[in-house]
Amino acid sequence: MKLLQRLKKTKIGSSIQYHIQPRKVKFEWHNTPVDWVPEQPFVSYFINEINMILPAGEFWFCRLYNKVLPQIQDEKLKQDVQAFILQEAMHAQAHNSANKEYLCERHIDIQRNLDVMDFLFGKLLADQPLGLNIPKPLQHQWDLFRLGIIATVEHMTCVLGKYALYNTEWQKSGADPAMLDLVKWHGAEEIEHRTVAFDLYRHLGGGYLARYYLSVVVIAAVLGLWVDGTAHIMQQDPRFKSIRPAIYKPWIWREWYAISQRNNGLLPNPLWLISQQLGYLMPWYDPVHEAKTEDAIAYLNQSPAALRAMLKVA
């Protein structure tokens, strides 16, 4: 009994002292061209695809976190999770606004890519996967598996967040300010809340070894969905008609790699992205050391979309 009480007391809680700040944002898409990085259609489509990938997943994070919220015994971690939910919901809304007011307005068919993500997060990874009832004794394991996926994805979003936050090449290439702000604002908030998913996963009993297979599953899924979705929207552009990009054709992978080498900083190198997963597998991994919160906050304090939303409220 005493041991149980001691274990309860030492249960891993929040690993941060600061309070995560949910922010409202407002993006204006009237002037954003399809090639939002001028003369870089591949780069523009590649990054535009994240608008389709993210919302379904982020709303799924919110649903699952709301479900497990009553199980959290650490008050600060509970506050972190609540702020995380508000931030992720705002990310999803912001990317949805880009889908509706920017990509659809430019006559890009995004529905097929949205349907893939809806199937994945609305059906396959739902509380009842593909409509199947999970037996009661296994429900916690199913939740834990999904929380592990979120923790692994959040390591990757922190890595990508750093890449976006410190990127200077997009701006040098004359990138559209709205898309630039969207990726930097999102990246900065990913850095700000980088500890939450990992803390929550461990708090609710997530183990160390699962990180290995979760990493393999997540990296393969993210790269596959990203390239497949990009190929689908690129195919609609007459400039890529003769190539007809597809996930199974080496061209799109080679081109991604070549651009990341040629134009240092316009796209992250796929091999670098995979290598960034290694740190997550180390027993001493601690997301606090993955990035600098103060750099993220410095950007967030002057993000045009966040300032515009504040003016609207005032």
Residues near Fe ion (CB under 5 A) are: 88, 91, 157, 190
Least Å distance, CB 262 to Fe ion, is 29
Phi and psi at residue 189, in whole multiples of 5°? -70, -30
H/E stretch holding 60: helix 50-68
Least Å distance, CB 261 to Fe ion, is 28
Least Å distance, CB 168 to Fe ion, is 22
H/E stretch holding 291: none
Least Å distance, CB 239 to Fe ion, is 30
Angle ∠(218,21,200) on CA atoms, nearest 5? 40
Burial 103-126 (b: 16+ CB within 10 A, else e): beeeebebeebbebbeebbeeebb
Least Å distance, CB 58 to Fe ion, is 5
Look up residue 75 and give its amino acid. E
Tell me the residue nearest to Fe ion as measured from the CB: 91
Among residues 150 and 267, whose Cβ is nearest to Fe ion? 150
Residue owning tokens 């997963």: 277
Among residues 165 and 252, whose Cβ is nearest to Fe ion? 165
Among residues 188 and 267, whose Cβ is nearest to Fe ion? 188
Among residues 245 and 287, whose Cβ is nearest to Fe ion? 287
Task: Take residue 9 and report the two structure tokens written for it.
Answer: 């007391």
Among residues 88 and 176, whose Cβ is nearest to Fe ion? 88
Long-range contacts of residues 232-240, Cβ cutoff 8 Å, at least 24 apart: 232/112, 232/113, 233/45, 233/48, 233/49, 233/52, 233/103, 233/108, 233/109, 233/110, 233/113, 234/41, 234/42, 234/45, 236/108, 236/109, 237/34, 237/41, 237/45, 239/41, 240/41
Among residues 78 and 91, whose Cβ is nearest to Fe ion? 91
Least Å distance, CB 6 to Fe ion, is 33
